[in-house]
Structure 1
Amino acid sequence: MNASTISVFFLSGLNETSRNQRSALFFLSLLCYCITILVNISLILIIVLDKALHEPMYILLCAFWINALYGTAGFYPKFLWDLFSPIHVISYSGCLLQVQVLYSFVCSDLSILALMAYDRYLAICRALEYHSVLSVRRVIMLACSFWLTSFFIVAVNIFITSRLRLCSPYIKRLFCVNWSIVSLACFPNETLMNAIVANMTIIIYTTIGFCIVWSYMYIIKICANSLENRTKFLQTCVPHLMSLSTFILTILIDLINSRLSSKDLPQTLQNFIAIEFLVIPPLMNPLIYGFKLTKVRRRIMYFVTFRYKKI
């Protein structure tokens, strides 16, 4: 069977979920999606409309939250539709598009976290050079170029996958992932190029992850000798570390489950593990930054109290 003859994929992740459970899951998922959209858009607008927050760190946060909206848009609408659909199908092109969105979202998140680490390194360790090295315009260009690079790297993976001849349209997941499509290949020897490019991608972003960790370790070492730097670290770096920890933990759990998935695990638990990186970080990150960053918190409080007084 040729890949071109497969027009749709069948997703089996929800097959064992009862109708009552699907109803509860639908309302819970819809609530999470609405809150995710609300908090991310609210914080984006606060930064865009407030000129006092037009600084490199806040521009990167804005890019971070825009990327969260981009990634969740690739998952929630289709997932919510499937919860009330008797047959869970997705078109061949739609499946590849979903993989492109979800994978580029993850890679872009890590890239933006790397830029955040570099921003904090300059602000704390090379404070006198900060504004000359990292302007708002340069940050916007770097964020866009990093996002485009991530999009291109993922697109290469997807293009190679699209050339495979597939012998089955059944994907045992809630949504499309690249390795699930590759595993359907008629001839395993044809997937060698997929494995090479995928491993190269993993090496690139694992290296970026190690660089981020090393940067914060270096910043902590520098901050240990200065009360002023310790205060700056607690105010601005702790939210970054919390986001980084959440990101790494959710991705590692998903990777371990993908590579070492056990059939003994309940389907509900497998589903939760599969979607946590799409649910937890986009929802938690804006809340973390909104509460921890002083300037953002003050702007939120000012907006809320101002609206309350007008009412």
Structure 2
Amino acid sequence: MNSSQILFFTFGFYIEIGLLKYFVFLVLMCVYSLIICANVLLIVVICVHRSLHEPMYLFLCSLFVNELCGSTALYPFLMIQILSDIHTVSVNLCYLQIFCLYLYVNVQFYNLAAMSYDRYLAICFPLQYHTRMASQKTAVLIALSWLFPVMAITIMIALNASLQLCGNIIDRLFCDNYSVVKLACSDTSANNIYGLIYTFVVLLGLTVLILYTYSKILRVCFSGSKQTRQKAVSTCTPHLVSLLNFSFGCFFEIAQSRLNMSSAPLMLRIFLSLYFLIFQPLFNPLVYGLSLTKIYSICKSLLIRKV
């Protein structure tokens, strides 16, 4: 059997839960609705209010748009699968979901790296910040944070599509690149080499950039005045919390997909595989919306005005 003969993939993680599936469907629908409302509200607030047209908030706007894209690639799919009696997906739709979900993860990482660089300039070079982080530079960084992942994921999907597959059972709740590659009975050297190069050159480089910027920010916090420390803490805490939450989610996903966890309870494996796809889009709007004074005050005034 090769990839041209396979018309659909079957998911092995779904179990029969009877009428409980309707309750799970309602929970997912409520969470998805909350994510949509929270992210759309913050995007509109940032776009409409000119006082928020600063690099930090523009990076946040890009982050919230990415949350919408990633959530839309997962939640409707999960809700349909939960209500369905046959848990299958066509090959083309599976590759489309892989593209969207991996694009979400990569854009999230690029955005967080750009935001850490922005906070580094704002705290370590406050007098030169507006010249170093001009509007053109902000636009270029946001564009690159989307363009590079699109090109990288497109190459990855093209390499996957050329593989000959000897099975169609995916032990996940959704389509995953690693799970599809494991089904291949042809040579996957090109896929593995490309994955390693991309991981170590790009993702490791972004990780080094984030660690470097925060080491400089911490040095300024410890050596600066009380006012400088307070400013650094107030602006960097939401970003750092979001970064840690995303890192933990990625670690859980790697542990779930790469390590042999067949002896672990099924519910634990499901939780680990969905953590960064479910909690991060819900987590970011709450953290940034409540922690950043400008956004919080504008959202509060809008809600009070409506009431």
Tell me, in whole angstroms, the C-alpha distance in 2 between the residues paired with 1:67 and 1:250.
16
Tell me, in whole angstroms, the C-alpha distance in 2 between the residues paired with 1:17 and 1:215.
48
1:194 matched residue in structure 2: 191
> Cα deviations across residues 23-79 of structure 1 (Å, max 9, x unaligned)?
221111111111011100000101001111110000000000000101111111111
Partners of 1:71 and 1:102 within 8 A in 2: yes
Q: Please state if 1:215 is matched with 2:213.
A: yes
Equivalent residue of 2:93, what SS?
helix
Identity score, percent: 33
Q: Please state if 1:206 is matched with 2:201.
A: no
Partners of 1:54 and 1:136 within 8 A in 2: no
Partners of 2:8 and 2:88 within 8 A in 1: yes
Matches within 5 A, 1:131-210: 131-187=130-186, 190-203=187-200, 204-210=202-208
Tell me, in whole angstroms, the C-alpha distance in 2 between the residues paired with 1:117 and 1:277.
20
Equivalent residue of 2:190, what SS?
helix
Tell me, in whole angstroms, the C-alpha distance in 2 between the residues paired with 1:283 and 1:261.
29
Partners of 1:253 and 1:273 within 8 A in 2: yes
Partners of 1:67 and 1:109 within 8 A in 2: yes
Q: Please state if 1:116 is matched with 2:115.
A: yes
TM-score of the aligned structures, taking structure 1 as reference length = 0.95
Bigger mean CA offset, 213-222 vs 276-285 = 213-222
Equivalent residue of 2:19, what SS?
helix
1:24 matched residue in structure 2: 23
Amino acid in the other structure paired with 1:273: L
Partners of 1:59 and 1:136 within 8 A in 2: no
Amino acid in the other structure paired with 1:3: S
Shift of 1:262: 1.4
Partners of 1:246 and 1:281 within 8 A in 2: yes
Shift of 1:210: 2.8
- Alignment RMSD, CA only? 1.2
Partners of 2:98 and 2:175 within 8 A in 1: yes
Gaps of at least 5 residues in structure 1 are none
1:43 matched residue in structure 2: 42
1:245 matched residue in structure 2: 244
Equivalent residue of 2:184, what SS?
coil
Tell me, in whole angstroms, the C-alpha distance in 2 between the residues paired with 1:261 and 1:25.
27
Amino acid in the other structure paired with 1:125: C
1:4 matched residue in structure 2: 4
Partners of 2:124 and 2:216 within 8 A in 1: no
Shift of 1:209: 1.8
Q: Structure 1 stretches (4+) deviating beyond 2 angstroms?
A: 135-138
Tell me, in whole angstroms, the C-alpha distance in 1 between the residues paired with 2:168 and 2:257.
19
